[in-house]
Chain A
């Protein structure tokens, strides 16, 4: 009699066994290694690190494998690992002007100090699916002892790409020097910075938390809402790409017991500065305003979208009265996290039969004398 009510435990066990089997796939096909994922699916690893907000190549690659390539699921795995990690302290803010860049482009000046360098990009490839023969054969493998421990994509040297000069001036500094930029809101660093992962988001939200939220927000959501701005749903002008840069930065940290800073590692970052004509030029002397994007790994569409949203959500008067979703901080920041949104949308798979029963009872108990008025006389 209790058929429908008992058996949950066995069902869950069976389901977990089945998903493990599905994940492994055909046993005659070789299993992918974590190394292969970090080396050959590097941009996927980058995305999982960015939205998982944990710079750990191995954890991200393991998560991608465990999630069968489902990126949102992999991001979730990384987040649930990250949340348990001990905090040692805050690093010294990374210096992106000292980034070892592998790619740097600007859309606002033909030539910029330090030069424009395309580096590795799909931008100018033809999107034709290539067969194995179309690819150049692999040169023989050389074990580079210097980079053997790190996946090649994580070190500039291993890329075989000659990096740009060690210090690149920021393109927007050129505008700043001419007094054409409005001052950014002050952003606090280090110990004074708020931390999205330790405190709930409260509105109105500071720029710190806005950037943190966008940096780990869902790429698709950030892209789509930024796109809506460009289509006039919140922007009335064409924005410009001030500078987009991909490269490696050194992370330095001062352990309290040492008292001096040490190099703790390198991170690949994508940094973007977007430049907009200021709508309200009469109020301020300067003529341009900027938006900022910074993302783990190489993810240009995310960094660019983020910098568009950083600008559209800025401003003390911007409390959501602007009508368009991409100008409403509460709308964007409350809904851009894919671990939150994926969980909540999919919780509808959980049983709801008690609530549904309440609805059934409510509808069946409708008072006979009060049939809903359909507007007929």
Chain B
């Protein structure tokens, strides 16, 4: 079977279709644009939406960074980087500042993003109302009529039952005072990084065939109540490697008696802070 693949795998017509969807998504911040998602050679749920976005916007001069759980070296990040190295011959970087495109699963880098950079999020469930109303035919109407009462009721019920809002990641946000949006399963710690960010944030859900976006300098507000304001995760200690006290910390179990240490989830930020240089 003679096989040849286009630059960055997807054919140019498919890329154009995705770019048109991206433009629409940028024009209506937070709105989920249905698109003709293609089958990718990686499984659904493993970043096919993100990969399609990256494939559609990447050019030969781009420098791509891929992270998963904040790390450049987790298996799925490695696999996606290998995919773009093979299909696009693209330059890969671990340095947040040097990257023109950053594809991510579950984190936003600690290093502040800059204008001109594109963040690409892998999204498993694009619909923030999915667990309140599983039917797309219904949620489409709820978004259309800005009928978001049930989301606030859910958050209120959390407070009534647990004394606080019980969502720890994929914490819903309202974009540009209009659409409620899933920020993808990033920890709520990362939500404020989206607010008025100078970078372009693109969200791709391959299986659900939805693209949405937050354009630069757009208001992204985590839902809360006046008397129960949105709050971030806090740690008592600092990173065991770089000593950082202002980053999201992962917990590493170091022995079978449960001894724990905390280190930065963002490996690039951590190594930089610890004084390591990059190749």
Contact = CB atoms under 8 A, between A and B. Distances in A.
B265 A357 contact: yes
Nearest to B266: A354
Contacts of A347: 43-46, 124
Interface string A348-375: 0011111101111110011101101100
Interface string A1-44: 11011111101100000000000000000000000000000000
Contacts of B69: 351-354
B1 A58 contact: yes
B76 interface: yes
Interface in A314-363: 319-320, 330, 334, 339-340, 342-347, 350-355, 357-362
Contacts of B9: 84
B91 interface: no
B263 A5 contact: yes
A258 interface: no
Interface stretch (B145-153, B156-164, B175-183, B216-224): B156-164
Nearest to B34: A200
Contacts of B37: 200
Interface string A83-101: 1101000000000000000
Contacts of B106: 352, 354-355
On chain A, which size bracket covers the interface?
Answer: 35 or more
Residues of B contacting A: mostly: loop
A119 B117 CA distance: 63
A203 B265 contact: no
A79 B43 CA distance: 11
Contacts of B210: 200
Nearest to B166: A362
A200 B38 CA distance: 10
Contact of B136 (A84, A203, A367): A203
A345 B124 CA distance: 11
A11 B164 contact: no
A201 interface: yes
Interface residues of B, number: 68
Contacts of A83: 38-40
B241 interface: yes
A5 B233 contact: no
Contacts of B10: 84
A357 B250 contact: yes
Interface string A157-197: 00000000000000000000000000000000000000001
Contacts of A76: 43
A347 B205 CA distance: 14
A211 interface: no
Q: Which of A82, A343, A365 has the most CB of B within 10 A?
A: A343
A340 B207 contact: yes
A12 B250 contact: no
Q: Which of A62, A84, A355 has the most CB of B within 10 A?
A: A84
B97 interface: no
A202 B34 contact: yes
18 contacts: A1-B240, A199-B34, A320-B137, A340-B44, A342-B43, A347-B45, A350-B45, A351-B68, A353-B251, A355-B168, A357-B248, A358-B189, A361-B233, A361-B234, A362-B168, A365-B233, A366-B162, A370-B162
**4 tightest CB-CB pairs across the interface, nearest first?**
A347-B45, A343-B44, A370-B163, A343-B43
Given A1-B241, A344-B124, A357-B187, 15 more contacts: A5-B252, A7-B73, A8-B75, A62-B1, A83-B38, A84-B5, A199-B36, A202-B34, A343-B48, A350-B75, A351-B69, A353-B250, A354-B69, A355-B187, A366-B162
